[in-house]
Amino acid sequence: MVYKRNRGVRGLRDVRFLRSVRGLRGVKSVRAVRGLSAIIAFAISLAGCVKVALHDTDHPGGGKIVSLNADRTDVGTGTDVPADYNVKIGDYTTTLSEMTGAVDLLPPGTYHVNMWNTAEHITVDGTTATADYSDGLIGWFFTGVADQTVEADRDYTIDVPMRQQVRELTLALEPTGDAKDLIADVAASLSGVAGAIDIETGNPVGAAVSVNPAFEKGSDGKYYATIRLLGVTGTEQKLSLTLRYAGGNPSAQTVVCDLSSQLAAFNADKKTPLTLNAIVVVTPTANGFSATIEEWEENGKTIIAK
């Protein structure tokens, strides 16, 4: 009897072994693929990261004046509040309504701020404000300056102190004497007045001008004239008064008085109105009438006229 080797069992074992090896390899392969995929995904995520800069405002490229305020703390009472203000910040200009407003985005830098209001009979050219006294009272005029350093990505609030640049002057004439009732009207001219000022400093610029106060007779028999001035300039201010009489007889008389001392500090306190009272003595003479200024009162203080 011839025996043949039974390869069936061994073959079956070989198949099972191969399958187990292949399965093990498959497991390792899956794990490797999964690990490699994770590494690739992490690398891609790193490559896709964008550095995000943090900012304090929505305008990181420049600074913004979110509130520009006209500070009227140091102006006189009874003055009108301007409807708007002109603003110049470096080369940038705008108009702000009322007393507060915002300004567009500004590049970083140091800026000089000018503010002024639009006033009747006053024009501004550059930094010079010029008054036209020929057509009634000039308006209330206020100016302010400030310096501000602007950085990017920041908001700013700027308070600009406003200075009153117009002062009110009232002249009161009280006629006395035997012929006082014959005065029909009074004309006047005041010299040494500032026609223009520098809005940066408030100081007068240019030549002096003359203004003509318009006198009206009050119920108390006195003559009053109120004027508004940018200031006085020079060392001499003279008031020329021309008295005209009823019927033209006698002829008009002119009296000139020096107000230089009374107006020497006129520019220093523009927010405070000034009143000057004068007594005009009118008496008959052999040649007609004589009119002289006897004394002045400056806000209650008696000053002898020269």
Global pTM? 0.78
Which residue among 128, 145, 164 closes a domain? 164
pLDDT for res 301: 44
pLDDT digits (tens, 9 = 90+) for 19-61: 554 554 554 555 655 666 666 666 566 555 566 667 888 888 8
Same domain, 206 and 283: yes
Same domain, 101 and 145: yes
Higher pLDDT, 2 or 244: 244
Task: Give yes or no for a contact between 150 and 62, defined as CB atoms under 8 angstroms apart.
Answer: yes
Same domain, 111 and 130: yes
Higher pLDDT, 304 or 186: 186
Confidence of residue 304 (pLDDT cuts 50, 70, 90): very low
Same domain, 183 and 227: yes
pLDDT digits (tens, 9 = 90+) for 137-187: 999 999 999 999 999 999 999 999 999 999 999 999 988 877 788 889 999
Tell me how many domains the chain contains: 3
CA dist 101 and 68 (Å) reads 5
Same domain, 174 and 298: yes
Instruction: Kindly provide the residue ranges of all beta strands, DSSP E only, lying in 5-127, ordered along the sequence.
Output: 63-71, 84-89, 92-97, 100-106, 109-117, 122-125
Same domain, 185 and 111: no
Whether residue 194 lies inside any domain: the answer is yes
Same domain, 158 and 171: no
Which residue among 164, 182, 199 closes a domain? 164
Whether residue 143 lies inside any domain: the answer is yes
Confidence of residue 251 (pLDDT cuts 50, 70, 90): confident
Q: How far is CA 103 from the centre of its chain?
A: 13
Whether residue 124 lies inside any domain: the answer is yes
C-alpha angle with apex 226: 223 to 231, nearest 5 degrees? 135
Whether residue 58 lies inside any domain: the answer is no
- Which CATH number covers residue 175? 2.60.40
Q: What is the DSSP letter of 138?
A: P
CA dist 242 and 155 (Å) reads 60
Mean per-residue pLDDT for 257-274? 94
Residue-range definition of the domain harbouring residue 10: 1-52
- Which CATH number covers residue 83? 2.60.40.2100
Q: Residue 264 above 60 pLDDT?
A: yes
Same domain, 155 and 177: no
pLDDT for res 50: 60
Same domain, 81 and 160: yes
Average pLDDT value over all residues in the chain: 82
Whether residue 196 lies inside any domain: the answer is yes
pLDDT for res 232: 98
pLDDT for res 279: 87
pLDDT for res 66: 86
CA dist 232 and 236 (Å) reads 9
Same domain, 184 and 159: no
CA dist 55 and 14 (Å) reads 70
pLDDT digits (tens, 9 = 90+) for 50-100: 666 678 888 888 898 888 888 988 888 888 888 889 999 988 888 887 667
Instruction: Flag the least confident range among 121-135, 176-190, 194-208.
Output: 176-190
Same domain, 244 and 196: yes
Mean per-residue pLDDT for 118-128? 96
Q: Residue 14 above 60 pLDDT?
A: no
Same domain, 221 and 153: no
pLDDT for res 104: 78
Whether residue 142 lies inside any domain: the answer is yes
Whether residue 39 lies inside any domain: the answer is yes
Whether residue 283 lies inside any domain: the answer is yes
